[in-house]
Amino acid sequence: MAYTEVSGNRVPIRMWTDPNTVEPQAMAQLYNVTKLPWIHGLAVMPDVHYGKGATVGSVIAMRDAVSPAAVGVDIGCGMTAVRTSLRAEDLPDDLRKLRSGLEEAVPVGHASHRTPVDPRRLPEVRSRDWDEFWDRFDTLTDRVQRLRERALHQLGTLGGGNHFLEVCLDENDAVWVVLHSGSRNIGNELARYHIEEAQKLPHNQDLPDRDLAVFLTGTPEMESYRNDLFWAQEYARRNRDVMMGLACAVMRKQFPGVQFPEWISCHHNYVAEETYDGVDLLVTRKGAIRAGRGDLGIIPGSMATGSYIVRGLGNPASFNSAAHGAGRKMSRSQARKRFTQADLIKQTEGVECRKDTGVIDEIPAAYKDINEVIAAQTDLVEVVTHLRQVVCVKG
């Protein structure tokens, strides 16, 4: 589908969805972004919905400025998917043991590892230079220096909310392991500190929305944020890498001889330095993946609707971006009021997962139709394969 262009203040809003279906709060957020003096362009994905700080499903391209609240508090949140050598027929009929093994290996919710994981002992972990990475912790803002041990213990943990670890089957019955997580507490702490600092700066006092407070290129505040931001984005990627290594170890124990030939990983809450229209820009993808030509990405649905592996088509109109998931169509509180445990059990039939009241806010009906989201961006990505989950672990 071609995008719809909606008038903004300084720039138009390019929308890969029907503007009439977007809630007024989200449209107001988007319009406020177009008032920023540093804005170069704004693209809106089909999974768009109102978000804290900035609209989820938005791609904000700015000149010499970045808004830490637009990036959000889960810096570097994203996805990793690994195709295994297993096939559907290799899995047992009862998947409870597999789910239990994954839950034992990867702490969920607020839990951490009792002893920090040594990634070098996990053969599948592809990240390197761990000593250099942790040495860079000392360069982070003083606000988080007390959190080093917590960050070490949380490396390789899932978190809660919409984060998940799944075992899936693709259209050819190949078995995949898929996970969604971010930078855990350390990313949250860094984000909150810099959001507070940005809101104090004089040039941000007359903005239409204080959550859009920015740092400006060439200032000490920007240099501090960039340093912390890029470290947290790397922590998030390494966190997913370690979790996948732990999950692969569980698979190897239960299925001796299994191999893991294909890995895909992508952020969907992050900042990248990219050039469009001959202009160097800071591109914030808030609930959006990079979809440059040939880029492989992962777009998940909900607990029972699976995920899509996609390949980017490199559309500059979207700043080489695509949706990051199905996107919520109702808030967590609305979902808890509207649905029951019986609804959850029915909607997750056939998936080995939690079916208790603690995850009702993640019920599939609280999300948009992932198939419609994919269909709305055929000029942004092409589908490689559709995955359907058989095991879903949530915090």
Query: Residue 53: which pLDDT band, with cuts at 50, 70 and 90?
Result: confident
Amino acid at 314: G
Cα separation, 128 vs 241, whole angstroms: 11
pTM of the model: 0.96
Domain 4-329+367-394 carries which CATH code? Answer: 3.90.1860.10
What's the whole-number mean pLDDT along residues 160-179? 97
**pLDDT at residue 210, rounded to an integer:** 92
What are the pLDDT digits (tens) for 182-208?
999 999 999 999 999 999 999 999 999
Q: Which SS3 state, helix, strand or coil, does residue 113 take?
A: coil
What are the pLDDT digits (tens) for 61-107?
999 999 999 999 999 999 999 999 999 999 999 999 999 999 999 99
For residues 60 and 42, the answer to whether their CB atoms sit within 8 Å is yes
For residues 166 and 177, the answer to whether their CB atoms sit within 8 Å is yes
**Per-residue tokens: 305:** 């609707």
Cα separation, 392 vs 219, whole angstroms: 45
pLDDT at 1 over 70: no
pLDDT at 249 over 80: yes
Cα separation, 212 vs 234, whole angstroms: 24
Q: Which residues are catalytic?
A: 324
What's the whole-number mean pLDDT along residues 154-179? 97
Domain range annotation of the chain: 4-329+367-394
Q: Considering only 124-128, 164-168, 223-227, 286-290, which range has the smallest mean pLDDT?
A: 124-128
Cα separation, 284 vs 68, whole angstroms: 9
- The DSSP secondary structure of 217-286, one letter per residue, reads TTSHHHHHHHHHHHHHHHHHHHHHHHHHHHHHHHHHHHSTT----EEEEEESEEEEEEEETTEEEEEEEE
**pLDDT at residue 171, rounded to an integer:** 97
Using CA atoms, how far residue 283 sits from 32, 97, 137, 354, in Å, is 17, 43, 24, 37
Q: What are the beta bridge partners of residue 322?
A: 289
Q: Which residues are annotated as a binding site for GMP?
A: 162-166, 268-269, 300-303, 307, 324-327, 394
How do 307-312 and 381-394 pair as beta strands? antiparallel
